[in-house]
Structure 1
Amino acid sequence: MKPRAIVFAYHNVGVRCLQVLLARGVDVALVVTHEDNPTENIWFGSVAAVAAEHGIPVITPSDPKSPELRAAVSAARPDFIFSFYYRHMLPVELLALATRGAYNMHGSLLPKYRGRVPTNWAVIHGETETGATLHEMAARPDAGAIIAQTPVPILPDDTAAQVFDKVTVAAEQTLWRVLPSLLAGEAPHLPNDISHGSYYGGRKPEDGRIDWTQPAQQVYNLIRAVAPPYPGAFTDLGGHRFMVARARLAAPGALRSDLPAGLHVSDNGIFAICGDGRAIAIHELRHQHDGSETVVTPAEFAQLIQTPRYS
């Protein structure tokens, strides 16, 4: 008899990991996902669409603690519960309905970066490596025993979106590699020492506000961490809001450093001076106005804020 699972999933990791379960012959009896938020930039794949293609029932409850959800899970009689980038914590009473265990795929190398948006936080903090971890679910978030991990590199100019693409592949590889032993009851359950890790909460668009008095590397990490398709790092200047969509940390001495911290324009482009005197070259600057965005040239930027140009 095939092992039966209920899958809570969303986003690209949810899509790929659901497909791994199906490819490995798991009987997915029910998929629980989210209704897409009309105010959110939906740049990722649809778990609901994948489930529909395979004839799997889909529900989108707003409350993971609802009696209706518990009844649906209980009726499916799952051997396993899997959570792949589902956005709600699942109550332990629900997890207990899986007779052979409940497991979550997390986008970091636990115990580091427990909690929300781990890829973005890893880039913000200048990490050179992250990854994906399959772990047992527990009452505390991302605190259960580690089943398997796969690391990926974070290169110096990677954006969070680029790193997330790698993490998605790492999640798929992790699940594919360990699933046979997990289904056979032979997978390792390794310690997850949360005292050696870290926990981070969610981020809001306002958290992308740039403080140009910070060191250039810190500013650049923020720009990379929230670059599109995320809301972006922004600054307000002359009554206008500008979002830095693409940038590059300049080599010391490559650009002027004798100017005050903030955005400046030259005949060749737009650049920023940071608190340590180091510069960032701005390759794409977007003007946000009345709910729309337009990419501005150096000349348009200078005109908008009526700033002098530097050669």
Structure 2
Amino acid sequence: MKAVVFAYHNVGVRCLKVLLARGVDVALVVTHEDNPSETIWFESVAALCREHGIPTVTPADPRSPELFERIKTLQPDFIFSFYYRHMLAPELLALAKHGAYNMHGSLLPKYRGRVPVNWAVLHGETETGATLHEMTAKPDAGAIIGQSAVPILPDDTAYEVFGKLTVAAEQTLWNALPDLLAGHAPKLPNELAKGSYFGGRTPEDGRIDWSQNAQNVYNLYRAVAPPYPGAFTQIGDRTFVIGKARLAATTPPDLPLGLAVVDNCVFGVCGDGLALRITELLVDGAPVSPSQLQQYLS
């Protein structure tokens, strides 16, 4: 079986390795150029393709006529998308003789759309996973081929959950692929009414509203903790990013909302009177000590 694969990020690397291990002929991989303004903390699909001698292209727009014609010439049996960041046009999907399939980072139909891991952590979910599904014109709306669930523990950051999700994606594809290649994979309904669609997030979405309760602020920290841009607050013209934190077991009394220093410890005091105990606070990527923060607060 011949496949064209659209892939990026760790999920792209691991799922591409699964295809190769299962004997799929990967005729072409479409990936992204790394963005120099983005923190690249993940593995490289392009590097994996170089290692295996797989042809690779990085078009700015996957809707380009040149890419369409190249894929049409290849006559793929399957098209796969593994954390590729653009939607694929229906006419492109139709080139796959036996179907086009995407690996999504949630338990569909929940958290359709962009950055599903971050949204799940932000909303305090205790479980998420990976779903292999048919691609349609509407994002994350096609029939479900397979799913694997992973837990979200109370102190897990999105980065930690993404590591679990990558394994879940690998397992889901590994388990589903034999039936998919044989043409008798199950197709389960993707009941869209039981979930919601979420859009992308920007660094500004990490701004902390200290009037919220401590659990919500903590969930925000966990959802965007480094290597993501981070939950942040400002004092004057300085931006402080929370690098590491936990919910405080006890909160010193009579503290104003926001950052505070007590007994050489940094707290983030929230609207319900509870706080985060912040063990790493960053300015311009460099740690700030409690005594330094106290000077900014004075």
Question: Fold conserved (TM > 0.5)?
Answer: yes
Corresponding residue of 1:68? 66
Does 2:240 correspond to 1:248? no
Deviations 1:247-296, CA, capped at 9 Å, x for gaps:
00113xx12143221110012310011001111100100013xxxx2101
Contact 1:119 1:160 in 2 (8 A): yes
* Equivalent residue in structure 1 for 2:293, among 268, 280, 301: 301
Query: Which segment is superposed worse, 235-244 or 138-147?
Result: 235-244
Runs of 5+ unmatched residues, structure 2? none
What SS class does the counterpart of residue 213 from structure 1 fall into?
Answer: coil
Q: CA deviation at 1:304?
A: 2.4
* Equivalent residue in structure 1 for 2:283, among 284, 287, 309: 287
Q: CA deviation at 1:238?
A: 3.1
Corresponding residue of 1:85? 83
Q: CA deviation at 1:240?
A: 1.5
Q: Name the aligned partner's letter for residue 255 of structure 1.
A: T
- Provide the alpha-carbon RMSD of the alignment: 0.8
Corresponding residue of 1:309? none
Contact 1:209 1:234 in 2 (8 A): yes
Does 2:118 correspond to 1:135? no
Corresponding residue of 2:261? 265
After TM superposition, the score normalised by the length of structure 2 is 0.99
Deviations 1:103-125, CA, capped at 9 Å, x for gaps:
00000000000000000000000
Corresponding residue of 1:222? 220
Q: CA deviation at 1:65?
A: 1.1
Contact 1:178 1:187 in 2 (8 A): yes
Q: CA deviation at 1:237?
A: 1.1
How many angstroms apart in 1 are the aligned matches of 2:234 and 2:83?
Answer: 33
Corresponding residue of 1:101? 99
Q: Name the aligned partner's letter for residue 4 of structure 1.
A: K
Number of residue pairs matched? 298
Q: Name the aligned partner's letter for residue 25 of structure 1.
A: G
Aligned-pair identity in percent equals 70
Q: CA deviation at 1:92?
A: 0.4
How many angstroms apart in 1 are the aligned matches of 2:73 and 2:253?
Answer: 66
Contact 1:135 1:142 in 2 (8 A): yes
Corresponding residue of 2:154? 156
Does 2:200 correspond to 1:208? no
Contact 1:111 1:194 in 2 (8 A): yes
* Equivalent residue in structure 1 for 2:186, among 182, 185, 188: 188
What SS class does the counterpart of residue 166 from structure 1 fall into?
Answer: helix
Contact 1:32 1:61 in 2 (8 A): yes
Contact 1:5 1:28 in 2 (8 A): yes
Contact 1:6 1:29 in 2 (8 A): yes
Contact 1:257 1:278 in 2 (8 A): no
Q: Name the aligned partner's letter for residue 113 of structure 1.
A: Y
After TM superposition, the score normalised by the length of structure 1 is 0.95
Contact 1:133 1:147 in 2 (8 A): yes
Q: Name the aligned partner's letter for residue 213 of structure 2.
A: P
Deviations 1:163-206, CA, capped at 9 Å, x for gaps:
00000000000000110010001110000011111110000000
